[in-house]
């Protein structure tokens, strides 16, 4: 029973939905039908009662049932009616007040703009320059049927009654001289026509007047009533265009192929240049890796040999055991240098998980191996330990090793402090010595400092070098633990590549 009730409710809901859709479609069709029905009416051209007319250009004036355009604008239009009007007959009386004028009515008009032929529809009018009736199609361009001479011509100060019927894609018109009753007829058919649109008045020159404007529905019989009097039915043929295989098209094809070849060549050269830049970047990276390994070991060897030399020079009698110990340290450093060179050549220079977990210990071990027992090494750890990602740990390790090697080789310190601080969103490494210090100028930085700066940039870290002659040196690196997203890394690589290409 419950299932039956649920099914009934669903069927009722579906039925209501279908009924609503059908009712909405009916309302839409009914509205379109109402809008497409052309009323039978005569327009009362009275000043102050022209709200249903819309001017597109011109200076329109209404006086005693007569309307005129006082502007010198070519193609001024005054429109009324609905864009959905389809089959109708338009009547209007027309009079010229001067020579060289061109005026008439427009039917099935759409998309009107200011200008001569700036609408989509049809124009039927009179020309007093050659005394003809004209009919044609405007679609932001102009296609005209053969003008038909009016018996007796077209003269100023004479009223002419114009009657135009549009039925489907057929248009016929008649013009009668109200003074002499002379009449002319013209017919026009078009395969692909404008089927609906508004009515209106159009003037090409000042001095034209209209009166007795009316509109009514029309059928095929209304069209035939006018068409049967026409000498011919104008059926304009759209002329076939020139063959596609023209010199201009051939030239365009050749230009396109040439442009494509040039673009392909340019892309090839850019790829080659980008490849060269990538190789140079890799060579620079390897150079920094070699500098950070073998160069630092050689610095330690030199420092130990310099210590032995000083001991020999200052003492006449030298303990052989002491010298042997010092030489053993040198030997161990050379072995370490050889091992690191082998690792670098074998492209095995990546940091291990030990470095990630024991970064401070690894830096302290580097300092002891380079300085031996002649420099006091102090390590400080602050904050809660957080496992660093491999790229960040590797960068901090090499920056710290370079700072230690520079301090031991050049500053002649007695104490070296290495501080690693874990913070909420980042990590800070400080290598500080009490050596000689120097006057630091970024523009004169050596290869070692430039290598530290590059490694800091690679992990979006901030590198600071503070040094004063006689007061020691401090190297400080601050980096975030948050790993950059793949999109940011790709953007950074692309930026570096473009800078390298255009530099």
Instruction: Give the tens place of pLDDT for each residue, 119-141.
Output: 999 999 998 888 999 999 998 88
Q: What is the per-residue pLDDT for 342?
A: 56
pLDDT 10s digits, 57-88: 988 999 889 998 888 888 899 999 999 999 99
Q: What is the per-residue pLDDT for 495?
A: 58
The helix, strand and coil proportions of the chain, stated in percent and rounded to the nearest 5, come to: 40, 30, 30
Alpha carbon distances (Å) from 98 to 52, 59, 213: 29, 17, 21
Domain 41-234 class, CATH top level: mainly beta
Q: What is the per-residue pLDDT for 3?
A: 39
**Which of the four CATH numbers 3.40.50.10140, 3.30.565.10, 3.40.190.10, 3.30.1490.190 does domain 352-503 have?**
3.30.565.10
* Burial call 239-253: b when 16+ CB within 10 Å, e when fewer: eeeeeeeeeeeeeee
Q: What is the per-residue pLDDT for 2?
A: 39
Q: Can you tell me whether residue 183 is helix, strand or coil?
A: strand
Q: What is the per-residue pLDDT for 97?
A: 83
- Show the 3-state SS of 474-499: EEEEEEECCCCCHHHHHHHHHHHHHH
Q: What is the per-residue pLDDT for 34?
A: 52
CB atoms < 10 A from the CB of 75, how many?
Answer: 21
CB proximity list for 273: less than 8 A, separation 6 or greater: 501
pLDDT 10s digits, 419-443: 999 988 889 999 999 988 888 777 6
Q: What is the per-residue pLDDT for 120?
A: 93
Prediction pTM value = 0.46
Q: What is the per-residue pLDDT for 240?
A: 52
Q: What is the per-residue pLDDT for 236?
A: 73
Which contiguous run of DSSP H or E holds residue 83?
Answer: none
**Do 352-503 and 41-234 fall under one CATH topology?**
no
Q: Are 396 and 429 in contact (CB under 8 A)?
A: yes
Q: What is the per-residue pLDDT for 486?
A: 46
Tens digits of pLDDT across the chain (503 residues): 433 444 555 666 667 777 777 767 666 555 555 566 899 999 988 888 888 999 999 889 998 899 988 888 888 999 999 999 999 999 999 998 877 778 999 999 999 999 889 999 999 999 888 899 999 999 888 888 889 999 999 988 899 999 999 999 999 999 999 999 999 999 999 888 999 999 999 988 767 899 999 999 999 999 999 999 998 898 876 555 556 677 787 888 999 999 999 999 888 888 888 877 777 776 676 666 666 656 666 666 676 677 776 766 666 555 667 777 777 777 777 766 766 665 455 433 444 566 777 888 888 888 887 777 778 889 999 988 888 887 888 888 888 888 888 888 788 888 999 999 998 888 999 999 998 888 877 766 676 788 888 888 888 899 999 988 888 899 999 998 755 444 555 555 555 555 554 45
Domain map of the chain by residue range?
41-234, 271-349, 352-503
Which contiguous run of DSSP H or E holds residue 404?
Answer: helix 390-406
Q: What is the per-residue pLDDT for 347?
A: 38
* Closest-CA residue to 329 (of 314, 307, 310, 296): 307
Which contiguous run of DSSP H or E holds residue 460?
Answer: none
């Amino acid at each position: 029973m419950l299932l039956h009730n649920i099914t009934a409710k669903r069927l009722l809901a579906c039925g209501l939905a279908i009924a609503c859709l059908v009712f909405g479609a009916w309302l839409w069709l009914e509205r379109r039908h109402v809008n497409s029905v052309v009323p039978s009416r005569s327009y009362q051209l009275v000043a102050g009662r022209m709200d249903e007319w819309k001017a597109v250009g011109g200076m329109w004036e209404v006086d005693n049932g007569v309307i005129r355009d006082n502007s010198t604008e070519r193609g001024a239009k005054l429109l009324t009616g609905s864009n959905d009007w389809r089959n109708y007959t338009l009547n209007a009386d027309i009079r010229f007040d001067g020579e060289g004028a061109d005026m008439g009515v427009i039917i099935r008009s759409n998309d009107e703009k200011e200008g001569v032929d700036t609408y989509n529809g049809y124009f039927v009018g009179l020309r007093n320059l050659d005394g003809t009736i004209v009919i044609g199609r405007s679609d932001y361009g102009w296609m005209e049927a053969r003008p038909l001479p009016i018996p007796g011509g077209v003269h100023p100060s004479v009223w002419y009654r114009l009657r135009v019927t549009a039925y489907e894609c057929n248009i016929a018109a008649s013009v009668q001289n109200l003074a002499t009753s002379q009449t002319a007829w013209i017919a026009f058919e078009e395969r692909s026509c404008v089927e609906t649109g508004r009515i209106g008045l159009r003037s090409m020159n000042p001095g034209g007047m209209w009166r007795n404007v009316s509109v009514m529905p029309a059928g095929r019989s209304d069209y035939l009533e006018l068409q049967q009097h026409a000498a011919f039915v104008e059926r304009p043929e759209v002329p076939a265009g020139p063959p596609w295989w023209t010199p201009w098209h051939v030239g365009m094809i050749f230009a396109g192929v040439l442009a494509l070849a040039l673009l392909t060549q340019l892309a090839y050269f850019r790829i080659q240049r980008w490849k060269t830049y990538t190789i140079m970047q890799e060579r620079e990276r390897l150079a920094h890796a070699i500098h950070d390994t073998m160069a630092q070991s050689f610095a330690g060897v030199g420092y130990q040999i310099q210590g032995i030399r000083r001991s020999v020079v200052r003492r006449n009698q030298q303990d052989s055991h002491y010298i042997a110990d010092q030489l053993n340290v040198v030997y161990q450093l050379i072995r370490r240098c050889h091992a690191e060179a082998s690792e670098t050549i074998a492209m095995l220079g990546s940091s291990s998980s030990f470095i990630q977990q024991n970064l401070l210990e690894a830096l302290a071990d580097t300092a002891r191996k380079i300085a031996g027992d002649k420099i006091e090494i102090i390590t400080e750890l602050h904050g809660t330990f957080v496992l660093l990602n491999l790229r960040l740990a590797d960068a901090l390790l090499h920056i710290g090793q370079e700072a230690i090697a520079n301090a031991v080789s050049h500053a002649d310190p007695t104490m070296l402090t290495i501080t690693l601080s874990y913070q909420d969103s980042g990590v800070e490494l400080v290598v500080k010595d009490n050596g000689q210090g120097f006057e630091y100028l970024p523009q004169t930085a050596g290869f070692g400092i430039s290598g530290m700066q590059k490694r800091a940039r690679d992990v979006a870290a901030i590198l600071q070098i503070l040094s004063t002659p006689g007061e020691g040196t401090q190297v400080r690196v601050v980096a975030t633990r948050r790993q950059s997203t793949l999109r940011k890394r790709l953007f950074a690589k692309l930026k570096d590549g473009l800078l390298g290409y255009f530099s």
